[in-house]
Structure 1
């Protein structure tokens, strides 16, 4: 009898220990999953915040700002639900600020600054930062649209604006490279860059015939092209007399050289 009771007690203890271990493992897995989800949400929050930090590099509409702040609210709400308790107050405070920004943008009249106001930086680091920010902004816009959180008309308009800004940056970069190639007398490379820039400008002109940017940059391209043509013509004029003199000397040498006997 005592032996049987002892077996029952031992079995119960073993089952209890196994149960506790399983519960502990389950709890640890839940905590690990929460940390992974929290890290994913933090990554999205940080990405959106970085875009907002550099949004002043180009003309930005109220609509795109609203998309970014709404995304921050959504991602931060999700992050707060899985964050450690020590971070809860920070999330609550930031959510109040972001919701206030959303309310302000929603109550403000919609505005889209002219793309003519875009300033292409001369500094390479700033230019790369602008290109990277536009690329991230485009990805965020598409992600939010796929989630059904952006009106299709707003998505189309903002996507077209981003595409136009990317084209303008590319044109400016190509014209800058063409100018640099011309300055070091690499005229072939300069012409190639000019042709690419002009082709891009003509593509923009098809969609926006009255775009002031297109005409101004076509004028820049023409100016560089004319300068290359003038330099090449000048070089040809400088080489021609020398070539003639060299040919004359060759003729004299041929006249007075010893005659071959056949």
Structure 2
């Protein structure tokens, strides 16, 4: 009888230990998932904050700024629903974000899309291209979640696409002018033709893009004239060399006649 009781107690103890371990593992899993969720939302907020820092370097529309601020707001709400840790700081951040959203809605002057500050160097150009790519990825994500309408998504994606085009045009123009300076007219002409073809296909060009198309057409004329001049000089050089060879032959045969 005693052994039966002992075995029963041991079995009960094992059951309790196993049950306790299962509960602890479940709690650890929940805690890990909670921390991962919070970490993910913090990463979202950090990314958006970094993108917003570029609002002074490139024109951000009202719609785009609202999309980014709402992305921060949604991340903060998810953090609050996931954990009560640092709830005060999160609520304060959420309140500030709401205030910024209201400020944007009631008092925001949209930038002049035709005004574009060209990047100073290749490093800055690359950084701006990376920013536009990240923003396009963000608005694609928000559209896929149903956070923004298709109309707004298409309009903002087109704006960002035009921004990327402007950055690439500025970079290409620098290379074209360098090629022209180095008298590499063939390379310059190829780049010019490519850009003109792209710009000609755009029906809603702003004043900046129209001005660049005019500049490229002028450069094309200059390159064409330079190519013709170069070809004429090369042709004349060939003629001069042929004439010189002919003179040498005449001298040789003239000497033979004297023999």
- TM-score between both structures, scaled by the size of structure 2: 0.88
Question: Cα–Cα, structure 1 residues 119 and 146, in superposed 2: closer, same or farther, change >3 Å?
Answer: same
By how many angstroms is 1:83 displaced? 5.0
SS in 1 for 2:146: coil
SS in 1 for 2:114: helix
Indicate the residue corresponding to 2:133 in structure 1. Answer: 135
Deviations, residues 217-236 of structure 1 (Å, cap 9, x unaligned): 12211332233234334434
Equivalenced residue count is 254
Indicate the residue corresponding to 1:126 in structure 2. Answer: 124
Measure the CA separation in 2 of the matches of 1:153 and 1:249. 72
By how many angstroms is 1:237 displaced? 4.8
Measure the CA separation in 2 of the matches of 1:5 and 1:38. 49
Indicate the residue corresponding to 1:207 in structure 2. Answer: 204
**Contact persistence 1:37–1:82 (CA under 8 A):** yes
By how many angstroms is 1:84 displaced? 7.3
By how many angstroms is 1:68 displaced? 0.6
SS in 1 for 2:201: helix
SS in 2 for 1:23: helix
Indicate the residue corresponding to 1:251 in structure 2. Answer: 246
Unpaired segments of 5 or more residues in structure 1? none
Measure the CA separation in 2 of the matches of 1:71 and 1:225. 45
Indicate the residue corresponding to 2:196 in structure 1. Answer: 198
By how many angstroms is 1:66 displaced? 0.8
- TM-score between both structures, scaled by the size of structure 1: 0.87
Question: Cα–Cα, structure 1 residues 200 and 246, in superposed 2: closer, same or farther, change >3 Å?
Answer: same
Measure the CA separation in 2 of the matches of 1:214 and 1:20. 69
Deviations, residues 85-141 of structure 1 (Å, cap 9, x unaligned): 2x33332221121111112223336x5423111212122222112111111111111
Deviates more, 1:215-224 or 1:136-145: 215-224
